[in-house]
């Protein structure tokens, strides 16, 4: 699966490239929103031509496997034929959105996903992006008499509600790494009242 990444030009045409090894995921949405929020960064990205992977920085060369900072450009880093992998121009948004790949469009400071000729804004919050594996490997524990006890994993949006309802502290782990501690506001008030 691949992604078409494009920018709407002032004349209604779309300049675009292909990211061959990318799929619409939370990670991709985060990279686009955080690292490509303006015309200058998007133009720098498109100037690389087709790429294998999208990194947070369009500047600087890809340093090899394990490089999580730079994009892997087929022209710059793969030394492939420029005429075949440069950015292309679609005559309008309809042509751009009819491509077989998932199409992401940058227009006036916002990112959109093109879906059946319509464009929907990419979600503002990363948690709003649907992902089938967003809760995999998440384990939630509560303190039970100086011992951590595993509980059923609720949806991310329900963590604070659960902490409030049960007046407990939740310890959220991804694998063996503690990623978040969620406290009930009642416990916070009691803590400050005793100081």
DSSP string computed for 129-167:
S--TTTTTTEEEEEESSSSEEEE----GGGHHHHHHHHT
Distance (Å, rounded) from C-alpha 57 to C-alpha 128?
A: 24
Give pLDDT tens digits for 68-86.
Answer: 788 889 888 888 877 888 8
> Per-residue pLDDT tens for 104-137?
999 999 999 987 677 888 876 544 444 434 445 6
Question: What phi and psi values does residue 50 have, to the nearest 5 degrees?
Answer: -60, 150
Q: Are 45 and 57 in contact (CB under 8 A)?
A: no
| pLDDT tens per residue across all 195 residues of the chain | 688 999 999 999 999 999 888 887 888 888 898 889 999 999 999 999 999 888 888 888 888 887 778 888 988 888 887 788 889 999 998 888 888 778 899 999 999 998 767 788 887 654 444 443 444 567 888 877 667 788 877 676 677 888 888 888 888 887 777 777 888 877 655 554 444
Distances (CA, A) of 41 to 11, 31, 32, 34, 171: 20, 12, 10, 11, 38
Task: List, in sequence order, every residue forming a beta bridge with 73; answer none if it has no partner.
Answer: 51
pTM beyond 0.75, yes or no: no
177-183/3-8 β-pairing: unpaired
């Amino acid at each position: 699966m691949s992604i078409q990444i494009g920018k709407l030009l002032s004349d209604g045409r779309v300049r675009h490239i292909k990211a061959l090894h990318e799929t619409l995921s939370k990670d991709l949405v985060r990279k686009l929103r955080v690292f490509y929020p303006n015309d200058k960064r998007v133009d720098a990205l498109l100037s690389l031509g087709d790429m294998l992977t999208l990194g947070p920085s369009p500047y600087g060369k890809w340093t090899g496997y394990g490089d999580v900072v730079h994009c892997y450009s087929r022209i710059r880093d793969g030394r492939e034929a420029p005429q075949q992998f440069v950015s292309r121009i679609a005559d309008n948004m309809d042509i751009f959105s009819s491509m077989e790949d998932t199409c992401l469009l940058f227009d006036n400071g916002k990112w959109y996903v093109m879906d059946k000729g319509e464009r929907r804004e990419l979600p503002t919050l990363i948690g709003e992006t649907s992902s089938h594996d967003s809760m995999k490997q998440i384990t939630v524990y509560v303190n039970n008499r100086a011992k951590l006890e595993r509980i059923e994993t609720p949806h991310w949006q329900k963590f604070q509600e659960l902490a409030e309802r049960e007046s407990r502290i939740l310890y959220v782990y991804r694998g063996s790494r503690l990623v978040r501690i969620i406290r009930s506001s009642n416990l916070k008030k009691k803590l400050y009242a005793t100081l």
